[in-house]
Amino acid sequence: MDKFKLSYKPYGQNALLIEWPRMINESVLQDILRFKQLIAVDYPELEQIPAYNSLCLVARTPIDFNKLTRGIMAIYAEGFILPSHSKKVWEIPVCYDLSFGIDMEEFSLQKKMSIQHIIDLHTRPVYTVYCIGFLPGFMYLGGLNSSLIQPRRSEPRLRIPKGSVGIGGEQTGVYPQESPGGWNIIGNSPVPLFDPSNEKPCKISVGDGIKFYQIDKAQHELIKIQTETKIFEFKSYLSDD
C-alpha cells in the first residue's frame, strides 16, 4: 500500500482540504478513494469531494480545524488494508458521424491520421475518471492516447450540444449538458450522464473506468429514444486491472 505525504489545509470556515503530491496517477487516486471510504465511516456528516490529488471535506457549519485534522490524520496514520476492489468500467456509446463530430475532418488533417484510426485509438483505452466537476456529470478523464493530444480551439464555441465528445489537450470527455466549450468535437454520445430525475443522478463515480464504443447514426437515434423513454440500461463490467 502506497503511503503519501499529505498536507492538510483550512479552506474557509467550513472545510478541510487534504492534498496529495502533485501528480496524476492511479495509485494517488486509489489512495484518495480508500481514505475517503474510511473517513465516511467516522465522519458521515461531511461531504467529500475528490479530485486528481485532493480530497475536500466540507461541513454545513464552521469546523474546529485543528481537532478535525487530528482526527483525520489519525485515520490515515492507522493505515488501511482494504481489499483491492475491482474497477467498475462503464461502456459509453459514441457516434463519430461527421454530423456530430464537427471538428473530426480538421482533426484528421492536422493529425495526418484517418478518421477510422482516430476512432480506433479513442475507443481502445479504459479511461479513468479522476474528477467530476465543471458541469453536473462532467468527467475529467485520464488515459488519452498520446497521439490524440490536441490543444483546445483558440476560439471557444458558445454552444456545444449536449452529449458532444471532445478532445482538449490531454483530456477527453463528454459534455453532459449544452455549454460553452473549447474542445475539438469528434462525436456525440446519446446517453444521459446526469439525470436529475433519478435519485442517484450520476451513476458514474470518481475512480471508475470509461470505455467508449462506436455506434452508427441509426443506433444513436435508437438509444436516444431508449433514454427518453427510460428503457436504456447502462452497461458496465468489473475489471481487475
Partner 1 sequence: MIEVLKTGFLTSIQDRGRYNHRHHGVPISGVMDEISANMANALLGNSIEDAVMEITLSGPELLFESDAIITLCGAFMSPTINEKELLNDEVYHIKAGSVLKFGRPSRGIRCYLAVSGGFQTEFVLGSRSWYSSVTPVESLYVGMHLPLSKKSGLKKDSGSRVNSGHNYNSNIIEVEKGPEFNLLSEHHKAQLLNGIFNISKQNNRMAYQLKQQILKHSYSILTSSTLPGTVQLTPSGKLIILMKDAQTTGGYPRILQLTDASIALLSQKSTSDEVDFVLKQ
- Written as nine digits, the cell of 203 is 451513476
According to the binding rule CB under 8 A, does residue 17 interact with partner 1?
yes
Q: Is 52 left (phi over 0), alpha (psi -120 to 50) or beta?
A: alpha
Which of 56, 75, 113, 115 is the binder for partner 1 (CB under 8 A)? Answer: 56
According to the binding rule CB under 8 A, does residue 33 interact with partner 1?
no
Which of 32, 53, 122, 210 is the binder for partner 1 (CB under 8 A)? Answer: 53
Residue recorded with cell 487516486: 29
Which of 4, 43, 194, 232 is the binder for partner 1 (CB under 8 A)? Answer: 194
According to the binding rule CB under 8 A, does residue 13 interact with partner 1?
yes
Q: Which DSSP string corresponds to 8-71? A: EEEETTTEEEEE--S---HHHHHHHHHHHHHHHHH-TTSEEEEETTEEEEE-SS---HHHHHHH
Which residues neighbour 138 within 8 Å (Cβ) at sequence distance 6 or greater? 132, 173, 174, 175, 176, 193
Q: Which DSSP string corresponds to 137-160? A: T-EEEE---GGG-BPPPSS-EEEE
Which of 6, 15, 94, 144 is the binder for partner 1 (CB under 8 A)? Answer: 15
Tell me, residue by residue from 115 to 134, as one string, x for binding to partner 1 by CB under 8 A and - for no binding: ----------------xxxx
According to the binding rule CB under 8 A, does residue 172 interact with partner 1?
no
Distance CA 62, CA 221 (A): 49
CB of 87 to partner 1, least distance (A): 18
According to the binding rule CB under 8 A, does residue 11 interact with partner 1?
yes
Which of 22, 83, 154, 158 is the binder for partner 1 (CB under 8 A)? Answer: 22
**Binding site residues, partner 1, CB under 8 A:** 9-15, 17, 19, 22, 24, 47-54, 56, 58, 60, 131-138, 140, 177, 194, 196, 201-202, 205-206
